[in-house]
Structure 1
Amino acid sequence: MMFEWNSLSLRDCITHKKGYAFKSKDYQEDGTPIVKVTNLTDNSIDMSSVVFVNEDIAKSNKSVSLKQNDIIIATVGSWATNPASVVGKTVKVPSGAQNALLNQNAVIIRPIDEKIDKIFLYYLLKNQSFGKYLVSNAQGSANQASITLNDIYSYQTTIPSLLIQKKIAHILSTLDDKIELNRKMNQTLEEMAQALFKSWFVDFDPVHVKVNAAGREDALGYKVGCTSDAELEQAATALGVSKEVLELFPNSFVESEMGMIPEGWEGGSLSDIAVFENERISQEELTQKNYISTENMLENKKGIRDASSLPNSVSVPSFEPRQTLVSNIRPYFKKIWLANISGGRSADVLGFKSKDDNTNEFLFNVLYQDQFFAYMMLTSIGAKMPRGDKKAIMQFSMALPSVKLMQFFSMKVKSFYTLVANNHQEIKTLQKTRDTLLPKLLSGELDVSEVDI
């Protein structure tokens, strides 16, 4: 109840530490990670694309070392029209970022323990009222906004007793824990599919196993694979698959322009299995849930979020379920999504359609490879904002298995992506529940005094 809550300014209950301006010349590929503003996600930190510094630099900057559940606020960013990088973005440090160092343009916020619970403070700063307050006080140019420490410290709010704070934090963090669990499950499912794809179609493990199990050579000195049921059973057991699966793969390798590939396969390119989608959809049919632009595609293969705005054009390129969408701007961000709905996309998002029926998941895994994104960058146009070259993209080389094998793989992993889509929908439901509860809990509208924790 509001009469049990006390008014205070944030300066009465928090301390801070500003990030350090690390020098780009000191960045390296391993060591102590540096967290930049660009690594901040909606609620956490993406550690997959951080840079590193050596031990000596890390030791001299221990003051900006992060602890789990620290709160980070971005003091430089965009205006509210670009929510993905908005100034004042607030995240909680995950366990995976423990001991990382915070770069400039952000600040670590920590509570004065006897006054406010750390997790409650995080949700207090995640509330829309705080974000709007910061944006309204920001200064800057048309493309960049900044806030000061005084803006943060001057925020006026009300808080309940520590016990009620902990109960509110428990309710909200339980929802966030389930959201994070679903995200990790989705990542695991996609990694499992990609690992199987790599084993079968990049490393050719089933063919190697068949060859090694037989241990014979043909007249030209090439090793050849299993010819008896016993040898096939032995090879299947070694690979951990059924004999029926192994029978789908050739028994030997042949030379090609790509090197040694399974016999019967061909050296080919992406254009042999895919085309660009060229259909269009009316702007009237678009919503924030079915419009995909490069802005609402997530980095590092993490799918999509709802769009923050819709295009003004009469129509846009369309996409259908099971097609693969890839952001064509700055390919190094690795933005990719296997669509489970139909909708529209911006011209900077490429839509790939399989040439053969029931091979959508195979195509998605071809495009999901880091090797593909590296190729996109290598053949991209432009330096400041590299853009994939559509003609070059279709020349991405690959070993082409039979359509039957592509279909078999797609069928085998299709259930993975169905579960990914279901988890994603549950994430959106949980987020909506959390975002609905958040202001009501933080205003005292909902009484949690009887909640057990």
Structure 2
Amino acid sequence: MTFDIVQLCDINIDVIDGDRGKNYPHQDELLEAGHCLFLSAKNVTQNGFLFADNQFITQKKDELLNNGKLMRGDIVITTRGTVGNVAIYSDEVPYDNIRINSGMLIIRCGDKIDNYYLYQVLRSKWFYNQILSIQSGSAQPQLPKSHFLKMTIPMPNMNTQHKIAGVLSSIGNKISVNTAINENLEQQAQALYKAWFVDFEPFGGVMPDDWQIVPLDELCDSI
């Protein structure tokens, strides 16, 4: 089966910058909690959204900004620093108000392309190799909007897009579940280590008398 290869500028999508105007939030306006989640590079990873370290802006600041507000179904791609991380604003995301920062783009699909299909293509190794070949900026890698729009994707018919998106989304959901399980086990292991070897909880908060703290090079050779 063969598909047409088309440039992103030729398909039914809107590509939206974040607001870069005078009302762009300063560091002292970013809060630990608030009305609108203001995305940072930490939130958009190779595996989609991660909300472990969040920053927010007030409703007043949100209303002062123009471009960059997410709608459900939108795709986000990072375009500065760590370039090419992709996430989709699905119904499972637990925040109703989200804005991108100035180092990201929003991709909003029209009715001729499946947003989950496009999401899977944009996060593929095939597409990332294109990013590596055209990203600009020697000090800090960048993917300008104009360069992004010149990149290409395979474009099957809508029915095939739905099928591809369905299969890959199912696999992705299983990976997400397994990742969450692994992260939970890692957190348990770290908590157990801290309890035993930092807080000494099993010993009343005191290191046992027959334990020692010694330099690592007394126990092994470095080769």
TM-score interval (norm. to shorter): 0.7 to 0.9
Residues 274/66 of structure 1: CA separation in 2 closer, same or farther (3 Å cut): farther
Residues 48/276 of structure 1: CA separation in 2 closer, same or farther (3 Å cut): farther
Q: Equivalent of 2:30, from 24, 27, 32?
A: 27
Q: Which position in structure 1 is the counterpart of 2:143?
A: 147
Residue identity over aligned pairs, in percent, reads 26
Where does structure 1 lack aligned partners over 5 or more consecutive residues? Answer: 78-84, 205-248, 250-263, 282-314, 316-453
RMSD across aligned C-alpha pairs, in angstroms? 3.2
Report deviation, 1:188: 3.5
Q: Which position in structure 2 is the counterpart of 1:105?
A: 103
Q: Which position in structure 2 is the counterpart of 1:132?
A: 129
Deviations 1:20-78 (A, max 9, x none): 3421121122103211124322121221112221221123337423345422121112x
Contact 1:68–1:97, Cα closer than 8 Å, also in 2: no
- Residue type of the alignment partner of 1:48: A
Q: Secondary structure at the match of 1:168?
A: helix
Query: Which residues in structure 2 correspond to 1:225-236 (within 5 Å)?
Result: none
- Separation in structure 2 between the aligned mates of residue 190 and residue 76 of structure 1, nearest angstrom: 30
Which structure has the larger Rg? 1
Q: Which position in structure 1 is the counterpart of 2:165?
A: 169
Contact 1:72–1:107, Cα closer than 8 Å, also in 2: yes
Residues 157/274 of structure 1: CA separation in 2 closer, same or farther (3 Å cut): same
- Separation in structure 2 between the aligned mates of residue 117 and residue 280 of structure 1, nearest angstrom: 56
Where does structure 2 lack aligned partners over 5 or more consecutive residues? Answer: none
Aligned residues: 209
- Separation in structure 1 between the aligned mates of residue 166 and residue 216 of structure 2, nearest angstrom: 46
Contact 2:48–2:85, Cα closer than 8 Å, also in 1: no
- Separation in structure 1 between the aligned mates of residue 191 and residue 136 of structure 2, nearest angstrom: 47
Deviations 1:391-421 (A, max 9, x none): xxxxxxxxxxxxxxxxxxxxxxxxxxxxxxx
Q: Which position in structure 2 is the counterpart of 1:230?
A: none
Contact 2:32–2:54, Cα closer than 8 Å, also in 1: no
Q: Equivalent of 1:76, from 75, 80, 85?
A: 80
Report deviation, 1:145: 1.5
Alignment partner of 1:66 is 2:70 = yes
- Residue type of the alignment partner of 2:29: D
Moved more, 165-174 or 55-64: 55-64
- Separation in structure 1 between the aligned mates of residue 74 and residue 215 of structure 2, nearest angstrom: 45
Contact 2:77–2:106, Cα closer than 8 Å, also in 1: yes
Alignment partner of 1:91 is 2:94 = no
Contact 2:5–2:152, Cα closer than 8 Å, also in 1: yes
Considering Cα pairs closer than 8 Å and 6+ residues apart, tell me whether 1 or 2 has the greater RCO. Answer: 2
Q: Which position in structure 1 is the counterpart of 2:48?
A: 44
Report deviation, 1:109: 0.9
Q: Which position in structure 2 is the counterpart of 1:115?
A: 112
Alignment partner of 1:265 is 2:204 = yes
- Separation in structure 1 between the aligned mates of residue 45 and residue 215 of structure 2, nearest angstrom: 30
Normalization by structure 1: what TM-score? 0.41
More helix by share: 1
- Separation in structure 1 between the aligned mates of residue 125 and residue 175 of structure 2, nearest angstrom: 19
Contact 1:88–1:134, Cα closer than 8 Å, also in 2: yes
- Separation in structure 1 between the aligned mates of residue 175 and residue 215 of structure 2, nearest angstrom: 33
Normalization by structure 2: what TM-score? 0.77
Q: Equivalent of 1:159, from 149, 155, 161?
A: 155
Residues 266/132 of structure 1: CA separation in 2 closer, same or farther (3 Å cut): closer
Q: Secondary structure at the match of 1:129?
A: helix
Residues 193/26 of structure 1: CA separation in 2 closer, same or farther (3 Å cut): same
